[in-house]
Amino acid sequence: MEYDCDFFYNEDLADFEKLNTTTKSIYELDGIDCLIILKNGENLTDFSEVKDLADIVYISLDLSQKEDLSNYFFYKKFSFSRYGHNQLKNVKAIVALNVKSNVTSLKCMFYDLKSLKTVSGLDSWDTSNISDLSRMFAYCTNLETVNGLESFDVENVKNMQYMFKRCEKIKDIGSIKDWKINEECEFEKMFENCSVFVKMEFYSNWHNQLENSFDDIFTDFSPYIDLNKFKCRNCGQFNVIYDKKSSKLLCRNCGHVILEYDSVCRDCSGSNLEFDYGIMGLVCSDCALINNPK
Ligand SMILES: [Zn+2]
Ligand SMILES: [Zn+2]
């Protein structure tokens, strides 16, 4: 089976493409360095024009002139108090472009953006001098995808602690399992409270590289799950995705069917079934029953 792009089509960004009335596309800023879309559809090009930061749902930014990006979307630049909640509390998508090699820390850059679902543009960054990625996405509890992470140069990174802490919905960072990691890097609790799915993705690569401390980077998984159940019998990889149309859990690498489910809930016959990557189970949104595979 071919890798099917439509399968991973990002609806979130398509919605903002429609709301954009300012630039050719949300990925090309045409000479401006900032595009902001508010929840009423209004387009702005400067943060100083925004009356209430909570109105922002989308941000596209050129960061090539920035040197200090630590805490960038958090309190330092956007909140009153260090301990207050993030005021960018409704932003759903960020396209961040052109980080240059003079940047050395991305610590807490996207910290506590509770509504954020998608981050893109990271393939345009030069991260060769970055030493600190700690807490970069921590507490982004709705974050699902980070596009471009695989192209990060992390050879000088010494700290990835808590980088994805509480990213409970994250499911598309498998590409970073091929990172060339620095031997001196601290990884403690990098994926604390993430989904079991994440652990599975990293199992084959990182388990070998970090033999003694592998389990320390993944902590607080509630259920005990036999990871081998989700390993592809065809290609040997841990890389699954649930296909709603066919009610099948597929190997994203080769398309092999790993598990097959009924298309309606066994208890209430509802068809509102969502695969929860945190518990690796198919959950009925109507009656909360965890449906077992066929
Ligand atoms: Zn496979
Ligand atoms: Zn049900």
pLDDT of res. 265? 96
What's the 183 CA to ligand 1 centre distance in angstroms? 30
Q: Which ligand is nearest to the CA of 251?
A: 1
What's the 204 CA to ligand 1 centre distance in angstroms? 13
Three-class SS of residue 17? helix
pLDDT-above-90 percentage for the chain: 53
The answer to whether residues 36 and 142 belong to one domain is yes
What is the average pLDDT score of the chain?
86
The answer to whether residues 174 and 257 belong to one domain is no
pLDDT of res. 2? 34
What's the 277 CA to ligand 2 centre distance in angstroms? 18
Most confident of 36-45, 48-57, 276-285: 36-45
Give yes or no for a contact between 140 and 168, defined as CB atoms under 8 angstroms apart.
no
Residue 163's closest CA among 217, 103, 101, 199? 217
What residue numbers bound the domain in which 79 lies?
5-155+163-180
Mean pLDDT check: name the lowest of 1-10, 30-39, 108-117, 143-152: 1-10
The answer to whether residues 266 and 151 belong to one domain is no
Instruction: Please report whether residue 90 resides in a domain.
Output: yes
What's the 179 CA to ligand 2 centre distance in angstroms? 41
Q: What is the pLDDT of residues 58-112, one digit of tens each?
A: 999 999 999 999 989 875 455 544 445 678 989 999 999 999 999 999 999 999 9
Q: Report whether pLDDT(7) > 60.
A: no
The answer to whether residues 169 and 284 belong to one domain is no
pLDDT of res. 85? 64
As a whole number of angstroms, the distance between CA 158 and CA 144 comes to 25
pLDDT of res. 204? 77
The answer to whether residues 137 and 249 belong to one domain is no
As a whole number of angstroms, the distance between CA 225 and CA 242 comes to 17
What's the 29 CA to ligand 1 centre distance in angstroms? 38
The answer to whether residues 18 and 120 belong to one domain is yes
pLDDT of res. 8? 35
What's the 284 CA to ligand 2 centre distance in angstroms? 5
pLDDT of res. 75? 57
Residue 137's closest CA among 159, 113, 153? 113
What's the 266 CA to ligand 2 centre distance in angstroms? 7
Which pTM was predicted?
A: 0.79
What's the 64 CA to ligand 2 centre distance in angstroms? 50
Q: When comparing pLDDT for 28 and 116, which is higher? A: 116
User: Which residues are found with C-beta within 5 Å of the ion, ligand 1?
Assistant: 232, 234-235, 251, 253-254, 256
Q: Which ligand is nearest to the CA of 269?
A: 2
The answer to whether residues 65 and 150 belong to one domain is yes
Summarize the confidence of residues 169-187 as an average pLDDT. 86
Instruction: Please report whether residue 25 resides in a domain.
Output: yes
Q: What is the pLDDT of residues 209-246, one digit of tens each?
A: 888 888 888 876 555 667 778 889 999 887 788 999 99
Sheet holding 34-38, edge to edge: 43-44, 34-38, 56-62, 93-97, 118-120, 145-146
Three-class SS of residue 182? coil
The answer to whether residues 274 and 136 belong to one domain is no
The answer to whether residues 25 and 170 belong to one domain is yes
The answer to whether residues 175 and 279 belong to one domain is no
What's the 257 CA to ligand 1 centre distance in angstroms? 8
Q: How many domains does the chain have?
A: 2
Instruction: Please report whether residue 231 resides in a domain.
Output: no
